[in-house]
Every structure is written in C-alpha cells, then in structure tokens.
Amino acid sequence: MISFKSLALVVLLAPLPAAAGSVSVIKFATLAPEGSTWMKVLGELSKELETETGGALKFKFYPGGVAGDEKDVVKKIRIGQLHAAGFTGVGLGDVAPETRLLDAPWLFRSRAELEAVRAKHDKELGAAVEKGGFVLLGWTDLGSVYVFSKNPIAGPEDMKKEKMWVWEGDPIAIAAFAALGVNPVPLSIVDVMQSLQTGMINAVYGPPLGVVALQWHSKVKHIYPVPIAESTGAVLVSKKFLGSLPDDRRKALLDLSAKHLKRLNDLTHLENDKALEALKKQGLDLAADPGPATRRRFEMLGAAARKELAGKLFSAELLGKFEKELAALRARSAKKS
C-alpha cells in the first residue's frame, strides 16, 4: 500500500508541463564545431521551431565539445543540466547499448545496407533508447570510418605498428582493434589533437568530414581505403524534458527534427565524399584498394569482434538477425547484377 506521504512525493517530483505562456529552452550539446554543416542545420531547425511555436520553444547550443565528452553529456542530461544532444555511437551506446551494433566493425559494406537494416529495426532500437530515459529525434549518419595515419598502412599487419588512438571507453572500437592485434592508446576525443601534436598517437579514425572538422587531418598524411564501419549517430532528447512540454510544442519538436535531420543526413553524405576528395587534393595519400581477399579478412575479423561483444552490448539474437538480413540483401543484389 502506497502511503499518502509517498504519493505526495511522487506528485512533487513528477515533471510539470510548461505553462502555455512560458518559454522552454532546449539546452543542446554536440561535439560538432561552430560553423560546421551540423551547426548550420541545427540553427535552421531552431529558427523554424521558434517560428512554429511563436517563440515558446527554442534551442540554446553548446557546440564544439564545450559541455564535455559524450559520456559527460549523457550524465548532464540525466541530472537536468542539459536536455538534448547530438551523439556519435559512443554516447548513444551509453543510453542504449543495443544500438552499438549499428557501428559494428566491418559489418556493413555501404550506406544502403546500413539504412535498410536500421529501418527494419527502427522501432526496436527506438524502444531501447526510451528505456534508457531518452527519446530518439532522428538518426544521423556520420559516414564511413577510415583510419588516418602519419605513416603509410598497407594492411592489417601495418596497423599493429602504429600508435593508434581509441576513444576511451568505446567497446566497439576496442574490440575492432583487439581483433587486429592492435594495442591502442585510449583517450577522450577532446585530447586527440594535442596527442597527435606531441606524438603520443600517430593514427586516428573517423569519417572524413569529422576528421576535417576536428582538424586532425592537418597532423596526418595517409588514409587507409577500407572503412572500419558505417558510423551511426543520433539526436536524443531527455524523455523527462520532452514529457514536460505541452502537446503542440512536443509535436513541433518531433516533426521538425525529423525533417531537418533527414536533410542533414543527405548533406553529410555529400560532404563526406567532398571532404575525402579535398583531403587527397591537399596531399593526403589514399592507399590503393587492397583487393577482395584483404576485405574478406577484415570481415572475418569483424565477425570475431561482434561475436565477442554479443551478450555484452547487444544480444546474440539481434546480431543474428542483422547478419541474416545482410546476407539476404547481398544475395538479392548479386542476382540483380
């Protein structure tokens, strides 16, 4: 039996809807730097949201990692210091570990494969995010993840010789490099640039657009052509904060986020392609494709890494579904060609 005192406490702690005449401010953090495509699109989202709600709902942005690493941001949202954020898979995995399967090493061969499988599991993955206390405003495709290095890399064996960075606390990247036999240097993303400058590390990984935005490209000379993964991120909002908004503001935020984030994904893919070409023109060397045998070897290493993570980050059942669906997609594609 719930006591009157306990019931009163529950009522007091429950989030109250914003008053009709009040202004709600969404405190939003991201690693994306000011001036980036990310921030331009988010700025347009904020303007349209403010117009749509008559000024009753708007964003306050904390770009460029000023709010801390993604794990810090997740904590700050949970205690109410922030309300929403744009995450890579690392922060997303802190909220819903199952989503990290989307970032699994050497699983997807293309954006099309990622989108097809993710769409099929959208409700399931969205429910996992909600279980973690957040609501998915939209997926963000960050692009193909390449290895960038100061020294040339011809294949998996050469990676063992490099002082490879790994995002501290990222089980996906740690498993990928473990499968390669690489002993990486774990660092927060905000410490990478300085560590490249001092020589603590000499190799990093990321989508071309992200590597340019973070200026890491200025400290490396080579690009390995086989992507580690197709990187997935997401824009999430606190479930508690979203629940505190009146229905009209909540609907405006959900609808406009879906619209602008779809456009952001399209722009990101185009700009990743442009960034890769620009890096080549600036003198970075994109190594020759190592051929199908090496690519198959990476995929075998990826399968071993995913098996190691099954039951820890994501279920073996979900992994089996992804792999079965990819096999069917590839079989259909082979028949067409």
- pLDDT tens for residues 64-122? 999 999 999 999 999 999 999 999 999 999 999 999 999 999 999 999 999 999 999 99
**Helix or strand or coil: residue 237?**
strand
Q: What domains can you pick out in the chain, each with its CATH number?
A: 22-336 (3.40.190.170)
> For residues 100 and 31, what is the distance between their CA atoms, to the nearest angstrom?
19
Q: Which amino acid, one-letter code, is at 279?
A: L
- pLDDT tens for residues 49-71? 999 999 999 999 999 999 999 99
> For residues 321 and 113, what is the distance between their CA atoms, to the nearest angstrom?
14
Q: Is 224 in contact with 149 (CB distance < 8 Å)?
A: yes
DSSP H helical ranges for the chain: 4-13, 37-52, 70-78, 89-95, 111-120, 122-131, 156-159, 171-180, 192-198, 208-213, 239-244, 247-281, 292-309, 316-336
Beta bridge partners of 187: 167
> For residues 264 and 241, what is the distance between their CA atoms, to the nearest angstrom?
24
Average pLDDT, the chain: 92
- pLDDT tens for residues 189-239? 989 999 999 999 999 999 999 999 899 999 999 999 999 999 999 999 999
pTM: 0.86
Reply yes or no on whether the pLDDT at 41 is more than 80.
Answer: yes
Tokens of 124: 């399931």
